[in-house]
Amino acid sequence: MVFSQNTEKPAQIDPKIVKEFVKVAHSDFDKVKEMLKEQPLLLNASWDWGGGDFETALGAAGHMGLKDMANFLISLGARTDIFVLTMLGKTDIVKALLKAYPGLLNSQGPHGFTLLHHAEKGGKDAEKLLKHLQKLGLKETFIKLK
In CATH, what is the architecture of 15-135?
Alpha Horseshoe (1.25)
Which amino acid appears at position 8 of this protein? E
pLDDT at 133 over 70: yes
pLDDT at 146: 78
pLDDT at 7: 79
pLDDT at 8: 86
pLDDT at 4: 59
| Tally of CA atoms within 13 A in the half-sphere of 52 that contains its CB | 6
> Based on C-alpha coordinates, what's the Rg of the chain?
16
CB 118 within 8 A of CB 112: no
Report d(CA 25, CA 32) in Å as an integer: 6
Domain ranges of the chain: 15-135
pLDDT at 2: 56
pTM of the model: 0.93
